[in-house]
Chains A and B, each alone.
Chain A
Amino acid sequence: MIDTLLKLYSSTTHTIVTHHFFLHQLKLTVPFTSKERKNEFTYKGFYSLVGDCFVNGLRAKGCLRSGFPPLLRHLQEKIKPGGRFGMESCNCIEQHWQTDDLLIKYRYISDFFIALAYFSIPLELVYFVKKSSVFPYKWVLVQFGAFIVLCGATHLINLWMFTVHSRTVEIVQAIAKVLTALVSCVTALMLVHIIPDLLSVKTRELFLKNKAEELDREMGFIRTQEETGRHVRMLTREIRSTLDRHTILRTTFIELGRTLALEECALWMPTHSGLELQLAYTFRQQNPVGYTVPIQLPVISQVFNTNRAVRISPNCPVARIRPVAGRYMPGEVVAVRVPLLHLSNFHNDDWPELSTKRYAVMVLMLPSDSARQWHVHELELVEVVADQVAVALSHAAILEESMRAQEQLIQQNIALDLARQEAETAIRARNDFLAVMNHEMRTPMHGIIALSSLLQETELTPEQRLMVETVLKSSNLLATLINDVLDLSRLEDGSLRLDSGTFNLHALFREVFNLVKPIASVKKLTLTLDLAQDIPEFAVGDEKRLMQILLNIVGNAVKFSKAGSVSIKAVVAKSASSRDFPASELISLKTDDLFYLQVQVKDSGPGVNLHDIPKLFTKFSDSKYLTSKDSPGAGLGLAICKRFVTLMEGHIWIESQGVGKGCTVMFMVKLGLPKQSHQTKPLLDTKLQPKLAQTSLSGLKVLLVDENGFTRTITKGLLLHLGCKVTTCSLDKCLWIVSSDYKVAVLDLCMPGVEGYDIAVQIRRKFMRQHERPLLLGVIANGDQITRESCIRIGVDSCIPKPISVDNMRTALLELLER
């Protein structure tokens, strides 16, 4: 008891309780009357006493246990009856003092403590409730607080009942008790309602705790899933970011290994033969040794048959990649198929799922001693990854193939370009060669022919005559052959262009007839010519070439017929006869400007085998059906005819009933109709020309412009010979000299560079009006079409090629003047 007192004493300071307590304590140990109390027990005296106690107490804190009783005894002595405070003893209390002293003491002290406790509980409540922010039952608190306080008050007031007390105290006590009773009952009633609530709060709390736990678990689960999803997305991004096969697989393995914390992953690819699976890539091993596994294993078939990840035994061959350390349990292994899509798979209409294809196997192993298991979400992750890898690999494969194809194409392009350049070079070389040989070959030929014919006219012995004739014949043939070859190569190039002029068609046929007739009569063949009524007299076309064609065909007919007849029939093609036409592409047979001439040459010669007909038109074909030895076989005649006919937009074909029954050659060519019928120049150059020409050319004022003095002299001589009045000048002076006095200006255009052309242009510009300008005659180096065209483009009126002969000059001048 004294300990507790001491504790309280040391812990509380200056509260009324302490004050009262001490007072009470003193009252306990100091029995004195109320009167004495009133008188003697003043605060002053009391406080000095309390002060003494305090000081002594504090001083002897450590040994207060032992110290306090002597203190009390000390106090007791002091306050003994007859002591300082001396009091008149109250008899009643004195008597009972000794026997009930202990009981009363205990009751007193218990009451005191009860009161104390009762007062401190609400304080605690208030204190802690103030501290907490949530407390739903504030009014309950108030009620409870009141209840407790009143109980405490009751007990406190009880303390006064131990000693003599006045009526007031009793009344106060009574009131307090009544109040307390009231409040207690109310509280009791209240608690009936409140306690279930509080209890339910408890159950709810439990429930919420469970719920929270569940949510936590679910959250953990979702988080794992989200992690997984993130991994998959990252993986996919990594895989898709590259088109290189190795990078794709390496990235896949690295990411998978990291995400799932795998010990090993491996990819087994099918070999080319398709019978085995070969270890292609691994996660941890750097250089996988070429393990192979036959593809027919049941485990592998199982994996192939489903698109889900399959758990397989760690002991199966695909999983035994590394030497397993004997002690540990190998971790679980999962295998999944990876479809290898090819470009060809996407050509089918149905999805690749349905077509047969190859698979690779991806094997994933968990770490060996971790006792981890494959979770469902991990398997799903693996399946998704396998699909992505398949797609990415197929993309990479497609890209590789397309790049290879592109490279191939580039190579081919380069090769083709090279080939084309070579071909062009070859053609150019050939053309150059031809251009040179053209003139060079013909000249000696003509020399030979000319001189042999001259020789023929001299006195010769019959043997000599025969020899000379042979020489002549062979050289004629050779000349024809050379001409043909040159013509043909130009024809094939497409560089040969048809001339176009108005000519007498009837006369042409008659000419051919006349030319062939002697030979025919020598061979005793009858030659007939039949021209239809509607064949026009004049036509527009290439006269020379048409004659060449006709001569060739008729000549062939005569050559190959030993006896019988050769007939030439010419008609204008009508629609009815288009049935005979093997390939029909006639659009309009006769328009105002054009008509198709159809010619048929029938002979009664040996005929042609039907098989050989196509060969006849090819160059140099060996004609086997010839029996006569002295007629030359191989030739270009028909080939050239065909090409000319084609150039004239026509067709040529041969019909024959068979060997020994003769053959018919038919051709159709397109010719034009002349706009106005006027007298055209005759077929051959006649010698009548010069007389006419000289009269029209004499006195013609010609300006001759040539840089080269020598050629100037020669051309001047030529012009003088023709009767013209010639003025010569050089290029730089000609612009001054040229005037409308001169009818013709002859310009040398063969100089290298474009000076001649410039002069032509300038002369044209100088004269505004056409009729004042002298006619421009250009002298060009070679007479091909291109040069002619460029001359005409510049504005030169006519061209004449070198070497200039008198006749050429005459003709050109006449032509110019006619316009």
Chain B
Amino acid sequence: MEVSEMQRQFADFSSSLFREGYLDAQFTQLQQLQDETNPDFVVEVVSLFFDDSQRLLNDLTHALEQENVDFQKVDAHVHQLKGSSSSIGAHRVTSACIPFRHFCEMRNTEACRACLQQVKQEYFLVKNKLQTLLRMEQQILAAGGSIPLIA
């Protein structure tokens, strides 16, 4: 595949991600932070995000399966997840966390579980997308091209 073709596909895919709300401006910021001094910044950050979120989701699943749900702990986890997803710009994950927190305050176990499912779903979607994006980037870089900046 041609580099320009790959670049075009990358640009399309990228803008579609933004358009569909998977990513927001924060991700752009992150991309801007990547420079000569820090060439793998985005990759590092994204993998860190995956690890962190996975851990959090596991903890959440575990906590909500208990007999007596410790809503404070659950709330703390969700807060953290929300923070990380908003830092990376995973917009939909952040949005899914908002009602989750609300239901934690209401101590509604059933609703929390439903929200957890929603969050998981969004997370896996965005994870997928990000992995695809990163793979495309790698491909372009391997082919010798440069990553086009999406304004």
Contact = CB atoms under 8 A, between A and B. Distances in A.
Contact of A443 (B24, B35, B37): B24
Given A708-B84, A720-B38, A721-B33, A713 B48 contact: yes
Nearest to A751: B79
Contacts of A713: 44-45, 48
Interface in A432-474: 436, 440, 443-444, 447, 450-451, 454
A447 B26 contact: no
Interface in B37-90: 37-38, 41, 44-45, 48-49, 52, 75-76, 79-80, 83-84, 86-89
Interface residues of A, number: 28
Contacts of A803: 25-26, 29, 86-87, 89
B30 interface: yes
Contact of B35 (A709, A711, A721): A721
B25 to A, nearest CB: 7
Nearest to B101: A752
A711 B79 CA distance: 12
Nearest to A446: B25
A717 B33 CA distance: 7
B103 interface: no
Interface in B77-124: 79-80, 83-84, 86-89, 91, 95, 98
B18 A714 contact: no
A135 interface: no
B128 interface: no
A708 B83 contact: yes
Interface string A697-709: 0000000000111
Interface centre among B25, B29, B35 (most CB of A within 10 A): B29
A482 to B, nearest CB: 17
B151 interface: yes
A714 B49 CA distance: 10
A710 B76 contact: no
A709 B79 contact: no
B21 A444 contact: yes
A738 B83 CA distance: 24
B19 A717 contact: no
Nearest to B52: A710
Contacts of A750: 83
Given A710-B52, A714-B30, A436 B41 contact: no
Contacts of A181: none
B32 interface: yes
Nearest to A440: B95
A787 to B, nearest CB: 16
Given A717-B38, A751-B79, A710 B24 contact: no
Contacts of B89: 803
Interface string A743-759: 00000001110000000
Given A454-B151, A717-B33, A806-B32, A710 B49 contact: yes
Given A440-B95, A805-B25, A806-B32, A714 B45 contact: yes
B4 interface: no
A804 B84 CA distance: 12
Contact of B41 (A708, A717, A752, A806): A717
Nearest to B88: A714
Chain A CB within 10 Å, residue with most, of B25, B49, B75, B87 = B87
Contacts of A707: 80
A37 interface: no
A229 B76 CA distance: 86
A443 B24 CA distance: 8
Contacts of A450: 151
B38 A721 contact: yes
B132 interface: no
Interface string A714-738: 1101101100000000000000000
A806 B33 contact: yes
Contact of B19 (A451, A714, A751, A752): A451
The SS class assigned to the B binding surface is: helix
A451 B15 contact: yes
Contacts of B48: 709-710, 713
B148 to A, nearest CB: 13
A721 B33 CA distance: 6
Contacts of A805: 25-26, 29
A721 B19 CA distance: 27
A802 interface: yes
Nearest to A436: B98
A116 B137 CA distance: 176
A710 B87 contact: yes
A750 B87 CA distance: 13
Contacts of B87: 710-711, 714-715, 802-803
Contacts of A440: 95
A114 B89 CA distance: 161
A616 B79 CA distance: 46
A752 B77 CA distance: 11
B33 A718 contact: yes
Best-surrounded residue of A444, A721, A802, A806 (most CB of chain B within 10 A): A721
Contacts of A436: 98
A440 B99 CA distance: 14
Interface string B7-21: 000000001001101
Contacts of B32: 721, 806
Interface in A214-230: none
A717 B30 contact: yes
B84, B95, B98: most-surrounded residue (chain A CB, <10 A): B84
Contacts of A447: 18-19, 21
Nearest to B20: A447
A318 B15 CA distance: 101
Contacts of A709: 48, 52
Nearest to A720: B38
B10 to A, nearest CB: 16
Contacts of B21: 443-444, 447
Interface in A200-254: none
B83 A717 contact: no
B24 to A, nearest CB: 7
Contacts of B44: 713
B85 to A, nearest CB: 9
Contacts of A454: 151
A447 B151 CA distance: 11
A752 B84 contact: no
Contacts of A717: 30, 33, 38, 41, 45
Nearest to A715: B87
Contacts of B18: 447
Contacts of A715: 87
Contacts of A710: 45, 48-49, 52, 83-84, 87-88
Enumerate the 9 nearest inter-chain pairs by beta-carbon distance, A residue then B residue, closest first.
Answer: A710-B84, A721-B33, A710-B52, A711-B87, A714-B87, A803-B26, A717-B33, A805-B29, A708-B83
Given A721-B32, A803-B89, 5 more contacts: A444-B21, A447-B18, A708-B83, A710-B88, A717-B38
28 contacts: A436-B98, A443-B91, A447-B18, A447-B19, A451-B15, A451-B19, A707-B80, A708-B84, A709-B48, A710-B45, A714-B45, A717-B38, A717-B41, A717-B45, A718-B33, A720-B37, A721-B32, A721-B35, A750-B83, A751-B79, A752-B75, A752-B76, A752-B79, A803-B25, A803-B89, A805-B25, A805-B29, A806-B33
